[in-house]
Amino acid sequence: MKGRALTVILASCGAFLTIACGDDDTSLRVMAASSLSGAFTDIEVAFERDNPGVDVVVITASSSALAGQIVEGAEVDVFASADETQFSRAAESVDFEPSRILARNSLVIIVPPGNPGRVESLVDLARDDVMVATATDDVPIRQYTDRMLDAADIEANFVTFEANVSGIVTKVSTGSADAGVVYSSDLVGADVEAIDVPAENNLVVRYPIAAIANARRTDIARRFVDFVTSESGLALLVLRGFTAP
């Protein structure tokens, strides 16, 4: 009996190890800001097609969360951040190659279908009958939003601080909140209406990307960054609402 129990335990340990250690040398860990998740899914497919045998694993979260994970020692081969502050934070603990700008983004006001709060411009975000969703103050979208609102001297009626951009989109698309400020690229596929912010109030968001330096996978990581910043990479980004750097 004891022998059989041991066999079962050893067998399950073996199975567990096989499952847990599927990661091999050719898999590339790409950490990307949540706003890039759609575009990077397309890029992953295209890159894997051009580079047989390479398995790209895209991990998306808010740039601040990703930078935090990198600081805590999470394995990363490529980091694409939605702002330069979070990129520098990560670069303090991990050696990256010089970063490049992969794309630009701008800010846009989103409202639920039908615009129940009748939001027309930035000033409406200060109305106390308009519930505005934003993110916690370490998430880049919140910092950009604050910068834009401060410049226009508007104090928005925030009712919730979401963990990331997709939280804002969810609260607005389900009509729980009347408005939110997100990246233009977040409009693709979202069930919301957009209200443009004029250029004089808007700001330009630059996305830095870099490959890890002096590592076993630097070569392939660099190839991935080259692809993202190439013509074909940019085309995929533009399809997802980004603009050329």
Residue 155-194 contact track with another protein, rule CB under 8 A, x = bound: ---xxxxxx---x--xx--xxxx-----------------
Binding-site size for another protein (CB under 8 A) equals 27
The only residue of 34, 64, 105, 106 in contact with another protein, by rule CB under 8 A: 64
At residue 114, the 3 state secondary structure works out as coil
29-54 exposure pattern, b = at least 16 Cβ within 10 A, e = fewer = bbbbbbbbbbbbeebbebbeeebeeb
Q: Which is nearer to another protein, 167 or 241 (CB)?
A: 167
HSE, side-chain direction, 13 A CA sphere, residue 66: 31
Q: Does 143 bind another protein (CB under 8 A)?
A: no
- 63 Cβ contact partners less than 8 Å away, ≥ 6 residues apart: 33, 34, 81, 82, 83, 86, 87, 139, 140
Q: Which secondary-structure segment (H or E) carries 200?
A: none
Q: Does 112 bind another protein (CB under 8 A)?
A: yes
Radius of gyration for the chain, computed over Cα atoms and rounded to the nearest angstrom: 21
The helix or strand, by DSSP H or E, that contains position 212, with its residue range, turns out to be none
- Residue closer to another protein, measured from CB, 50 or 137: 137
- The residue from 68, 84, 157, 245 that contacts another protein (CB under 8 A) is 68
Q: Considering only the stretches 103-111, 153-161, 214-222, 224-232, report the one whose residues sit in contact with another protein under the rule CB under 8 A.
A: 153-161
Q: Which is closer to another protein, CB of 175 or CB of 245?
A: 175
Distance of closest approach, residue 110 Cβ to another protein, in angstroms: 15
Per rule CB under 8 A, is residue 227 in the interface with another protein? Answer: no
Question: What are 61's two structure tokens?
Answer: 């979260």
The two three-digit tokens of residue 91, written as one number: 């670069």
For another protein, the binding residues (CB under 8 A) are 2, 5-6, 9, 62, 64-65, 68, 112, 131, 133, 136-138, 158-163, 167, 170-171, 174-177
